[in-house]
Structure 1
Amino acid sequence: MIQLLDKHKQYDIIGDIHGHYDELVSLLKNLGYSLQNGIWKNGDRTPVFVGDYIDRGPKIMETLKLVRDLTESGNGIALMGNHEYNFICMHNYDSDGKPFRKRSEGNLKSINQTLIALESENDFYSYLKWMEQLPVIAFNDSLRVVHAQWHHPSIELILSSSIKTLDQNGLSQVFENETLKNALDITMKGQEVQLPETHHFFDKDNKSRGEARLKWWNQLPSNKMDDAFAWILILMLIY
């Protein structure tokens, strides 16, 4: 679940892509990357993707292939986002044969475009296994990268865990340890607060929500803001 970053390399931190392949290619070109033997490269720099490659966008398969080719060729690093985490939890099972994440109508709707993109059985299992081995944390002495929140108590729990990948076995251990499960949720989704019973809001998918994510960075002392934004999203995909 951990990726160490080379302190001698320069990194481009790239935020949520969500299947927007064309925008990703445009961003890579603007950053000085070029296509060399099928791989996007920039001799001086390495992209670090913070997760959320799937769902929503029109070119999910192309996005997955680009990011996977970069990582497997040693020319990029890809972290797990909450969308990949949700996806693998819906397709791995506990000892009772139940998925770790419920396949409710809403949850299935959220991954429908990804399931369509991975309609080939070979593609589905190949990319499922790839997602399972994605790290949750990447860091060195001067840079920290996670998908949502660098929450020190949660990070310490993850660092001390013996779990290497979030495959069937890894997820089984996570879901048997509520404290570790909460640590992963915070790291990939951010801290949430329960709203009063009479309060709720509708998210962008028109789903009613009784919990809200905290703007945790507003709680940091001013001298810690640079530390926070060293790893939060340095580069954003805007579309």
Structure 2
Amino acid sequence: MARLTLDALVVGRGSTAVAGPFDIAVAAGEALVVTGPNGAGKSTLLRTLAGLLPPISGTIRLEGPAASDGEAAERLADVAHYLGHRHGMKSQITVGENLAFWARYLGGAAAAQSERSRQDARRGPHVGVPTVSAPLSPAEALAAVGLPGLDAIPFGYLSAGQQRRASLARLLVAHRPVWILDEPTSALDIASQARFADLVAGHLAAGGIAIAATHHPLGLEAARTLHITPGAGRDDGRGSNAPGAPALDDAALAEAEGWL
């Protein structure tokens, strides 16, 4: 089964430490909600997990999932979806074309893991193989986020809430066992937030892992919480409460985080 472990992980921008150290493990079927004030380092932590920033120190260890070549994944980024503040969608092309691109770009991993799932089903259940969800078509993914029939509309024509939902549909067109989500419910109405919580619950039930930074409740009652304060990482009693990197003043934190 998939398991993600952070060992004395310190994250930052450039050579400046922003938050940590973090010592925590997240297993298949678990969600970790990252909270904290603006500038504490939530986005920096998620971008580091996604492979977009190098750690200042410490390690990120992943066990279980296979990469697109069928071998054990060496990096978390090889088997993770990352959804940041920006949507990762082109405004000029249709929503369906955007999602088709992501399906092709990430499809190698989806195809390899789907084939592994089919082989496991023929052999029968055994220890160490996570449940795998089949990827959806762009039209099916849009329907799942409450946007049926909008695949032919240019992404730039959508409202802010619709754009966020369409970007969430990226999670469904290619299966990846780890979801790394930065403020995923931004601009969503109450009904869309509930629909998103259902999608995450389904992902966890299939053996996935979700890590989300947020200022708002996500409707995930069983989720663990990692609260970040500037210069330290602590969770809800099942991870580290060790003092971290030296605290930075607000101006330095804002510069370190940028628009992220």
Shorter-chain TM-score tier? under 0.3
Q: Quick check: which one's strand share is greater?
A: 2
Higher helix residue share: 1
Task: Report 1 or 2 for greater relative contact order, CA contacts < 8 Å, sequence distance ≥ 6.
Answer: 2
Could you state the TM-score of these two structures normalised by the residue count of structure 2?
A: 0.26
